[in-house]
């Protein structure tokens, strides 16, 4: 086998390996989303939650995030209160890196968030339920 043939064989093996591994990743992601579906909410245009409350909505549910006397307040409607396991917040910096955010206990309708990191430009809110996850991203 020529030298060029060996290079081609090497790249073909690598390409087949990558294709097979990405196929496995796709199947795992599909299986995960089938087991725990995620509902992404659409946030209002020109939303700045540190200035005034704004909503993220879907056909059957909504989250409202806005300023509170000690940080932020989250309210939900449309979700079954008994099915809510917890609420998670991830603050995002301008470069997309994640800043530390609190995990809030299960509550039927509302949560309070204390300190907002100064370098945060947006916040990802996830309400984890027993059967599905509801997520929305708000600009700060």
Q: In which residue are the tokens 């609190």 written? A: 102
Quick one: which H or E segment has residue 89?
strand 84-93
Q: What is the pLDDT of residue 37?
A: 83
User: pLDDT tens for residues 48-92?
Assistant: 898 899 999 998 999 999 998 878 899 999 988 888 888 888 999
Question: Averaging pLDDT over each range in 27-41, 92-106, 121-135, which range is the top one?
Answer: 121-135
In terms of Cβ atoms closer than 10 Å to its own Cβ (0-12, 13-18, 19+), residue 96 is exposed
Q: What is the pLDDT of residue 69?
A: 83
Q: What is the pLDDT of residue 34?
A: 60
Please tell me the pTM assigned to this model: 0.71
In terms of Cβ atoms closer than 10 Å to its own Cβ (0-12, 13-18, 19+), residue 86 is middle
Q: For the chain, what are the domain ranges?
A: 1-35, 38-139
For residues 43 and 64, what is the distance between their CA atoms, to the nearest angstrom? Answer: 9
Q: What is the pLDDT of residue 19?
A: 77
User: pLDDT tens for residues 3-57?
Assistant: 777 778 787 788 887 777 777 766 665 665 566 788 999 999 888 898 899 999 9
CATH code for the domain defined by 38-139 = 2.60.40
Q: What is the pLDDT of residue 42?
A: 94
């Amino acid at each position: 086998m020529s030298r060029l043939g060996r290079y081609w064989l090497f790249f073909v093996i690598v390409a087949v390996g990558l294709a097979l591994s990405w196929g496995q990743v796709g199947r795992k992601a599909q299986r995960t989303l089938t087991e725990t579906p995620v509902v992404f909410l659409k946030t209002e245009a020109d939303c700045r939650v540190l200035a005034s409350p704004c909503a993220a909505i879907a056909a059957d549910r909504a989250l409202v995030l806005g300023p509170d006397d000690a940080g932020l307040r989250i309210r939900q409607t449309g979700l079954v209160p008994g099915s809510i396991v917890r609420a998670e917040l991830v603050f995002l910096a301008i470069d997309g890196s994640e800043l530390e955010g609190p995990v809030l206990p299960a509550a039927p309708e509302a949560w309070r968030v204390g300190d907002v990191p100064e370098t945060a430009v947006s916040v990802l809110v996830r309400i984890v339920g027993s059967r599905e996850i509801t997520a929305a991203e708000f600009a700060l």
